[in-house]
Structure 1
Amino acid sequence: MFGCVVAGRLLQTNLQQIDESHAAFELPAAGSINHVCVFLLGTVPFPDGYGAAVHFFWPGKGFQLLGMLSNEKPSAIFRLRGNFTAQTTSTQAAFGNTAQMSAAPGADVTAVLGLSIEPLAQIMQQTNSLPSALSKPAAPPSDPTVVAEKIVKHMFNYISGFVSGNTSSGNITPDSVVPMGLVAKWYESFLTKVKAVGPGFLDRQE
């Protein structure tokens, strides 16, 4: 029913069934994991009104609630934040026991990604307690007209620094001649800066 991918690793489908409503993936070498993707395989949907709470268990540290899956949200990518809490519920304890048994002495720890099938209302109540940054909507894309205006302004400022000295007034006029090589230089410099620091520098120009 579920699949799991740790960034940089092969797809995992070796799901371990704990009971009727709990299942888990073992994640070896957990110390190197930053992001994990969990998804429905599309073979078996959730019953109406149900979904899965997704937990990450680290032996000896506890658990962190990552988020949820549902028929309407069949996949999700989670960043492991390392904010663990003590195990206090039967669901957390079930996954915690699995994690403890999976840890091999003297080896890099094997953590557990737990899936708990529960009513959606119950899952939503849990996920509402997650940090707001996880549910914060993405910022709307920048207005392309504003972005274009910033780019043109950057080019004008760059070129004027070279051309203004060749004019009697010290400023660019409609009749000022701009060598194409200068435009090419600006273009190369602009791309280098965007690749290095992103477009944010456009907001800081005079």
Structure 2
Amino acid sequence: MFGAVAAGNPIQLSEEVPNSNGLQHTIVLSSTKPKQYSHITLFQLPNVALPADLVATVYFKLSVDQDFQLFGYLAAEKPSAIFKVTLPGAKGDDSGNLGEIDMDVDGVDTGADSGDVNNISQVLIGISVEPRVQGLAKVQQLKEMNMARASGNAMVLSKNLKNTNPAIPPETPGELAQRFPVVTQQLAANIVQHAYNYLTGFLDPAGNVSIKRFDTWWDKFKVRLANDAHFIDEVTSD
């Protein structure tokens, strides 16, 4: 479904990975001899087209024991992207983590030479195909985090965001709202609309509804949510 190529290396195709914490595809960029990677191009294959309501979020890591880090996305209007990779050891970075990756960079120098960079043998790419609103909300949060780091607010940001790993589900409603504000707002609006649609059928002449009707709605809502959570996407104001 996807392909990727690092400068000076052959094209590698993605493989489907079932039951992998939301990452349905992976690509391993490797070579017989360790080398410095500078630019990586990721693209949809010619016979593949993502539906308009989906995006493919893109993650990178350098070894199997690391966590995937989100760095961008592909979509119907964006079938490919060029990533600029600054590896550990570049510009004094000896953290051992994947360095910065800039989305859609073309013809930009990494600013590092082979003497400053730790050569590596592979880069692992994870790709998650997910609903457009959810995926773009993650990318927007990534951009805000990068802007905060650039402005010197990374420490404050890290204190406020207890769990920013996209592979780990939010543990509290507040954490969900903080990590995915757009999706959370849409979810809240759909729940309220669903309750409104149900309760307006039981209005008395004064425009009031018995609290028992609300309890009945809530019980039915929880059962339906457990059986088919996607029904909430179809709630309308009609």
Coarse TM-score class (shorter-chain normalised): 0.3 to 0.5
TM-score (norm 2): 0.41
Query: Could you say which structure has the larger radius of gyration?
Result: 1
